[in-house]
Amino acid sequence: MAISYHRPTKIIVDLQAIKQNLKNELAHNQGKDVFVAVKANGYGHGAVPVSKAALESGVTGLCVATIDEAIELRESGIDAPILCLGIVAISVLPLALTYDITIPVATLDWLYAADEALKTATKPLNIHIAVDTGMGRIGFVHPEDVQTAALFLDSVETMTWEGIFTHFSTADQEEDMYWQKQNQRFQEVLTQLPRLPRYVHVSNSATSIWHDDLGNMVRFGIAMYGLNPSGTALVESYPLYPALSLVSELVQVKQVPQGEGIGYGKTYETSEEEWIGTVPIGYADGYIRKMQGFHVLVEGQVCEIVGRVCMDQLMIRLPKEVAIGTRVTLIGKDCGNEITLQEVAEHVGTIHYEVSCLFSERIPREYI
């Protein structure tokens, strides 16, 4: 997809906010290695600049979801440890070795196949054992299989056993019974192992902020971007500074008589003579049709999005005539007013993670 640099719509990422969030997290989790989650293009913020800022802040490594995301980081010159959190096909393991990417194992069949595939490799592949303690996603379910995997890894030369981890499904909720259950299961798995590897990790942002966990490494994602993992359910234990703003400019402003339709389907009709502004962003940018009825900020004033959001443009109702080229803030601060990713998420009935990940490649990212 072509990045649309010649259009006034852009995402502005405040790398100082990211650094401040990481400074707070490193102080909060002293003694643990922090790996930051930069999968999905750094949750829409841009994987490479975010990774570089995070490494400058003192984090140990990076987490991605796919081998290709890891390769993008390596090709940008990053040589820090990279852990892939998703299952990787055996056929892809030579790439993992070439690019020095750590890989999870979730089944014994995969482990034995990986050993066969790596017999002729000149160096061992770094492996973390994934344990499914109740997320139901990836990982060994039976403790005896974890034990078998650990013993096998210690007996072969094709792989190095560097870590073991699990992932909690309810760490961002006030009710922590299920979190406790998963934690307990993981502890039991650990007690049955012949030894512990270098990294034991269970923490995403929510676990790191709200729970006492037993790991020595954190997989820190959403809170690095300044967003409360729980949305609004729980209060963060240190301040989080949102890093992402989304801005554009008015490209047309017109006075529309009463009774005229705005947008596809004529879902909005002017109730009086109204000033209507056009903003060059639409659902192809990830600013989805459900945003109709929400608002943006123009000169600090709340302006409703009227009519359906189009593929590349949307229309807003202005309080008065405003000059073409005036800034439109879709997410972020403007003259003392603010629109948060959380508010956008609430309007469309989802979570802020999804909103920022959906912003398409077409929107240029600018870093300050």
Ligand X SMILES: Cc1ncc(COP(=O)(O)O)c(C=O)c1O
Least distance from C-beta 209 to ligand X, angstroms?
Answer: 9
Residues 224-283 that bind ligand X (CB under 6 A): 229
Residue 220, interface with ligand X (CB under 6 A)?
yes
Place of tokens 């802040």: 57
Residue 219, interface with ligand X (CB under 6 A)?
yes
In one-letter notation, the amino acid at residue 214 is L
- Listed ranges 116-124, 218-226, 293-301, 334-342: which one lies at the site for ligand X (CB under 6 A): 218-226
The residue at minimum Cβ distance from ligand X is 221
Rank residues 37 and 62 by Cβ distance to ligand X and give the closer one. Answer: 37
Least distance from C-beta 130 to ligand X, angstroms?
Answer: 8
Sequence-ordered list of residues with C-beta below 8 angstroms from that of 99, at least 6 positions apart, any chain = 67, 70, 71, 74, 82
Least distance from C-beta 358 to ligand X, angstroms?
Answer: 15
Choose, by CB under 6 A, the member of 10, 45, 167, 317 that binds ligand X: 167
Can you tell me the distance from the alpha carbon of 98 to that of 366, in angstroms, rounded to the nearest whole number? 31
State phi, psi for 192 to the nearest 5 degrees.
-90, 5
- How many Å is the Cα radius of gyration of the chain? 24
Ligand-binding annotation for 311, yes or no, is yes
Cβ atoms of residues 355 and 344 within 8 Å: yes
Burial degree of 82 (CB within 10 A; 0-12, 13-18, 19+): buried
Q: Which runs of consecutive H residues, i.e. helices, occur in 298-363?
A: 341-348, 352-358
Least distance from C-beta 222 to ligand X, angstroms?
Answer: 4
Residue of 285, 309, 304 lying closest to 294 (CA atoms): 304
- Provide the β-strand partners of residue 337: 334
Rank residues 237 and 337 by Cβ distance to ligand X and give the closer one. Answer: 237
Rank residues 164 and 206 by Cβ distance to ligand X and give the closer one. Answer: 206
Binding string, 73-112, against ligand X, x = CB under 6 A? ------------x---------------------------
Can you tell me the distance from the alpha carbon of 80 to that of 127, in angstroms, rounded to the nearest whole number? 16
* Exposure class string for 249-265: b at 16+ Cβ within 10 A, else e: bbbebeebeeeeebbee
Active site residues: 39, 264
Residue 62, interface with ligand X (CB under 6 A)?
no
Choose, by CB under 6 A, the member of 134, 221, 277, 280 that binds ligand X: 221
Dihedral sign for Cα atoms in the order 36, 39, 44, 48: positive
Residue 52, interface with ligand X (CB under 6 A)?
no
Residue 42, interface with ligand X (CB under 6 A)?
no
Can you tell me the distance from the alpha carbon of 197 to that of 150, in angstroms, rounded to the nearest whole number? 9
Burial degree of 362 (CB within 10 A; 0-12, 13-18, 19+): middle
Can you tell me the distance from the alpha carbon of 149 to that of 163, in angstroms, rounded to the nearest whole number? 12
Rank residues 37 and 276 by Cβ distance to ligand X and give the closer one. Answer: 37
Residues 185-204 that bind ligand X (CB under 6 A): 204
- Listed ranges 110-118, 213-221, 278-286, 303-311: which one lies at the site for ligand X (CB under 6 A): 213-221
Binding string, 122-161, against ligand X, x = CB under 6 A? ----------------------------------------
Ligand-binding annotation for 327, yes or no, is no
Q: How many amino acids of this chain bind ligand X (CB under 6 A)?
A: 11
The total number of residues written for the chain in this structure: 368
Residues forming the site for ligand X (CB under 6 A): 37, 85, 167, 204-206, 219-222, 229
- Residue ranges of the annotated binding site for substrate are 137, 311
